[in-house]
Amino acid sequence: MRINRTRLKRERIAILTGGGDCPGINAVIRAVAKKAIIEKDMEVIGIEDGYHGVINNQYRILHYEDVSGILTLGGTILGTSKTANPYRYPLKKRGKLEFQDRSKIAIQNINKHDVSCLVCIGGDGTLSIAHRLFEDGVPIIGLPKTIDNDLRGTDITFGFDSAVSIATEGIDRIHTTAQSHHRVMIVEVMGHRAGWVALYSGVAAGGDIILIPEIPYDINVITEKVNERNKKGKRFSIVVVAEGAKPKGGDMVIQRIVKESSDPIRLGGIGFVLGEQIEKITGLETRTVVMGHLLRGGSPTSFDRILATRLGTKAVDMIGNKEFGYMVGMKKNSLVAVLLKEVARGPKTVPLNHPVIKAARSVGTCFGDD
């Protein structure tokens, strides 16, 4: 049999998706793989279940047909993990949880497959690990994925617009039942330690009170706002609260601890705490709705599909230019290369002088601080 030597020498890249899922991941996988195959004649490997797949050598070849028709799909065809960290890999031995450094094994697996670049699609946790792997010699390019929109170096992440759209629709629906029953309705949304989702969905849906981690709240200010609305004949109020919101001098509400995760704290429950306090102080019937993982599911918005396509195709251009150690970001509607070192510095929170906060305050929205 005659061996095609040219095909054996095709450049090979690998893609992984880590952290929480969100709409738009498959769109970016499609963009990277299709451009790499069509324009660069590259071979594309899909790493399964994030860094688990790198450590355990779980992968599959992604052909053109594998990434065709996935633009509109939610989730990720490659699977993901929020616990796998090559530098702190969780293992249970004799019933006890231990952590081991498996980074050398991960790097060996990458090198064994002669991968010229590892494309890491993820949020701050995934890309912080990517930065460490890059420092250890792995050629890497990152892509900004998170509904939280909390990555440094980019104005927006794909997944954010979809989550805001879902949250906004949910709050819109809450309005009608709040009006009908004359209730205070609290809608708790995700966002981790940043308030981007709560801020944007709250403003878009006309939330009366918006509580975000960046602005610690005073429960008395919130109840005064509710009572004031009630006296003026507005016999309902909508409170949009980020899961990371906290009172002045207080702490965030922790739902549970996931010890094997690189970020073990899982926030959640602030909506129920607020609901009890508001009802007790005002005497008004109060209900809480937690949007939770609904924000991660379903098809991406058209905006996220376009953003993911732009980011993914730009990543392939950077691979061709050997621009490794960067994340592809978006600044003022232009694609930019951001050092992974910058991304790994920590989350991007909402500035207190953000124009959306200013606009919201000017139309009477309360942020629990005045």
Q: Which residues are catalytic?
A: 148
Q: With beta carbons less than 8 A apart as the criterion, state whether 212 and 350 touch.
A: yes
Instruction: Give the full edge-to-edge strand order of the sheet including 140-144.
Output: 59-61, 43-47, 12-17, 117-122, 140-144, 326-331, 334-339
∠ Cα 177 180 186 (to 5°): 40
Reference 159, options 289, 10, 343, 330; nearest CA is: 330
Identify the sign of the CA torsion 82, 293, 251, 358: positive
Q: With beta carbons less than 8 A apart as the criterion, state whether 49 and 78 touch.
A: yes
* Rounded Cα gap, residues 32 and 25, in angstroms: 11
First to last CA, the chain: 79
* Rounded Cα gap, residues 351 and 276, in angstroms: 29
Q: With beta carbons less than 8 A apart as the criterion, state whether 86 and 129 touch.
A: yes
DSSP 2-38: ---HHHHT--EEEEEE-SS--TTHHHHHHHHHHHHHH
Lookup result for tokens 């927006």: 156
DSSP 242-302: ETT--BTT--PPEEEE-TTSSS-EEE--HHHHHHHHHHHHH---EEEEE-GGGGG-SPPPH
Q: How far is CA 217 from CA 99, 162, 223, 264, 311, in A?
A: 38, 27, 11, 25, 37
Phi, psi torsion values for 310, nearest 5 degrees: -65, -45
How many residues does this entry show for the chain? 370
* Rounded Cα gap, residues 89 and 103, in angstroms: 9
Rg (CA), the chain: 23
